[in-house]
């Protein structure tokens, strides 16, 4: 309450006034009768009483002072009206305050960030793309956002979305999305088909569920050989089925990797040029329009620095600096051992994906070295499924 | 008894918060103000407040708030 009074007094402005004369009490009584607010009334010395009063009561004091036979001296004037009067000629100051208030009003009606929680990066990218197509993103003017249309468009354009809500939390947009569970792909059991070998190999196990068996365990087959037939021959006649089986075979897999004994390496000379761009919400302003990269060979490194508050909250104003480092290339020769290691590492990387979940029986590795390169060849014996459906047309 | 009751009803409302703050209502005017004494008119009565470092911290149309060390309150008339 005290704070509120102090603030109100400052807002309306108040004066420190000295009442000089023998009849100060009479003046104070007259002020009371005329409903003039006085506070902090203190006798500073005999014959002088110091009071505080509102500036808007000042006009009425002359008459009251005359009636009570005292003289008044204004010691100080404090408050907003006094400050405004003091700075009334400083147009720039008032323009600055006006501009500040305008920007404050404008920026509080702009989307500063769009958050899409509980989705993976791929889904997030898709959703952001649809939102941007509909004109919604960082920098959008909040009063113009059509939330209903955004929801409809997201549901229409993304088939797997079952629920969308777009809410504004201040200047932060929260897009909540629920994805529908997709049904597993249906298995086509109705189309007549044979099963043939997808690659050369020796059958190690054979489990036929439907169809006529045309191969047996231990048999060597070539790519395209019929393993299980879809035409069933019974005493009652022929009928066709969708052949189903799991046939594992021992197959040979050959993989090789060649590495050159020379390689080109790129090194920085130490010189660089910088291109700068300012980003305000979704608008980009090139700060170096005269920029052109003077180097033939260069590395590019981009750094984006966002303005942020103390707690790490980013403001959608950023400076993007793109560094162009000048480079030069040179040939470097490596030893055959280093090349072999390099080839092996690359083969390991490929094999990790190719043979994931596949039983490998044995691996033979050969290395061949020439004047210019090293080749590592891996021959593997693996057990894998060689079934391949082959549909056929059947006419009664 | 009757006089006594009538007498009480003419007294101004006074609130005392410890001895540091005193509020006097139905005040018609300030007759004397010194740091050691404040004399007020309240209807037909005169109220004298004695103390030390007395300030009139707030004045409204009929209420006076006095701050300082109040030693005694006297009624006259």
Provide the number of structural domains found in chain A. 5
Tell me how far CA of residue A336 lies from CA of A90, A259, A343, A373, in angstroms: 80, 9, 10, 8
Say whether residue A264 is in contact with chain B using an 8 A CB cutoff: no
* Residue A394 in domain: no
- What was the pLDDT predicted at B23? 93
Please give the residue of chain B at the shortest CA–CA distance from A33: B61
Q: Do B33 and A49 touch (CB under 8 A)?
A: yes
pLDDT over threshold 50, residue B5: no
Name A272's Cβ contacts closer than 8 Å, sequence gap at least 6.
Answer: A323, A324, A325, A326
pLDDT over threshold 70, residue B9: no
Q: Do B33 and A43 touch (CB under 8 A)?
A: yes
A40 closest CB neighbour out of B32, B55, B60: B55
CATH classification of the domain holding A134: 3.10.20.310
Measured at the CA of A238, the angle between CA A236 and CA A241, to 5 degrees, comes to: 120
Q: Is B33 left (phi over 0), alpha (psi -120 to 50) or beta?
A: beta
Among candidate residues B20, B18, B64, the one with its CA nearest the CA of residue B41: B64
- What was the pLDDT predicted at B4? 43
pLDDT tens for B42-75 read 888 899 999 999 999 888 888 899 999 999 999 8
Positions in chain A whose pLDDT score sits under 50: none
Which of residues A127, A144, A179 is at a domain's end? A179
pLDDT tens for A214-267 read 999 999 999 999 999 988 888 878 888 889 999 999 999 898 999 998 888 888
Q: Do A39 and B57 touch (CB under 8 A)?
A: yes
* Residue A235 in domain: yes
Collapse the DSSP code of A57 into the 3-class scheme (helix H, G, I; strand E, B; otherwise coil) and give the result: helix
B59 closest CB neighbour out of A24, A39, A42: A39
**Residue A25: is it exposed, middle or buried by C-beta count within 10 angstroms (0-12/13-18/19+)?**
buried
Question: Which residues form the domain of A367?
Answer: 256-261+335-382
Q: Which of residues 17-56 of B touch A (CB under 8 A)?
A: 27-35, 55-56
* Residue A188 in domain: no
ipTM of the complex model: 0.82
A24 closest CB neighbour out of B28, B33, B60: B33
Q: Which of residues 48-67 of A touch B (CB under 8 A)?
A: 49
d(CA A58, CA A16): 11
Please check whether residues A6 and A81 belong to one and the same domain. Answer: yes
Please check whether residues A11 and A74 belong to one and the same domain. Answer: yes
Instruction: Tell me how close the Cα of A83 comes to any Cα of chain B, in angstroms.
Output: 25
Residues of chain A positioned with their CB less than 8 A from the CB of B49: none
**Pair type for strands A172-179 and A113-115:** parallel
Q: Do A41 and B57 touch (CB under 8 A)?
A: yes
Please check whether residues A6 and A68 belong to one and the same domain. Answer: yes
Q: Are A334 and A263 in contact (CB under 8 A)?
A: yes
Please check whether residues A240 and A277 belong to one and the same domain. Answer: no
* Residue A56 in domain: yes
What fold does the segment set B2-76 form as a domain? Immunoglobulin-like (2.60.40)
* Residue A99 in domain: no
């Amino acid at each position: 309450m005290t704070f509120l009074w102090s603030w109100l007094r400052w807002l309306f402005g108040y004066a420190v006034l000295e009442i000089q004369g023998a009849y100060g009490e009479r003046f104070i009584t007259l002020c009371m009768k005329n409903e003039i607010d006085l506070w902090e009334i203190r006798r500073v010395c005999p014959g002088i009483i110091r009071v505080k009063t509102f500036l808007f009561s000042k006009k009425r004091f002359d008459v009251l002072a005359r009636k009570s036979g005292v003289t008044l001296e204004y010691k100080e004037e404090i408050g907003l009206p006094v400050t405004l009067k003091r700075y009334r000629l400083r147009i720039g100051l008032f323009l600055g305050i006006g501009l500040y208030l305008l920007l404050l009003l404008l920026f509080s009606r702009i989307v500063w960030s769009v958050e899409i929680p509980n989705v993976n990066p791929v889904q997030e990218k898709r959703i952001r793309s649809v939102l941007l197509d509909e004109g919604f993103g960082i920098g959008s003017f909040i009063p113009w956002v059509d939330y209903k249309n955004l929801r409809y468009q997201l549901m229409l354009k993304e088939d797997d979305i079952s629920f969308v809500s777009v809410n504004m939390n201040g200047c932060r947009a929260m897009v909540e999305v629920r994805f529908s569970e997709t049904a597993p792909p249906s298995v086509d059991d109705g189309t007549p088909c044979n099963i043939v070998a997808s690659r050369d190999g020796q059958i190690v196990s054979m489990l036929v569920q439907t169809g006529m068996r045309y191969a047996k365990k231990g048999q060597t087959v070539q790519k395209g050989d019929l393993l299980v037939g879809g035409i069933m021959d019974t005493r009652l006649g022929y009928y066709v089925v969708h052949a189903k089986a799991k046939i594992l075979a021992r197959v040979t897999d050959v993989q090789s990797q060649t590495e050159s004994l020379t390689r080109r390496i790129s090194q920085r000379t130490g010189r660089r040029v910088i291109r700068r761009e300012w980003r305000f919400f979704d608008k980009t302003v090139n700060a170096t329009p005269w920029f052109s990269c003077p180097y033939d060979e260069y590395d590019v490194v981009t750094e984006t620095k966002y303005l942020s508050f103390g707690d790490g909250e980013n403001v959608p104003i950023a400076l993007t600096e793109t560094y162009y480092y000048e480079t030069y290339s040179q040939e470097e020769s490596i030893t055959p051992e280093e090349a072999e290691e390099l080839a092996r590492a690359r083969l390991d990387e490929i094999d990790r994906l190719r043979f994931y979940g596949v039983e490998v029986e044995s691996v033979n590795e050969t290395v061949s070295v020439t004047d210019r390169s090293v080749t590592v060849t891996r021959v593997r014996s693996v057990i894998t499924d060689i079934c391949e459906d082959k549909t056929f047309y059947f006419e009664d | 008894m009757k006089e006594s009751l009538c007498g009480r009803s003419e007294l101004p409302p006074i609130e005392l918060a410890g001895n540091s703050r005193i509020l006097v209502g139905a005040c018609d005017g300030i007759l004397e103000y010194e740091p050691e004494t404040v004399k007020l008119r309240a209807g037909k009565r005169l109220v004298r407040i004695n103390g030390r470092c007395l300030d009139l911290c707030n004045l409204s149309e009929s209420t006076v708030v006095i701050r300082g060390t109040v030693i005694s309150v006297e009624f006259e008339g």
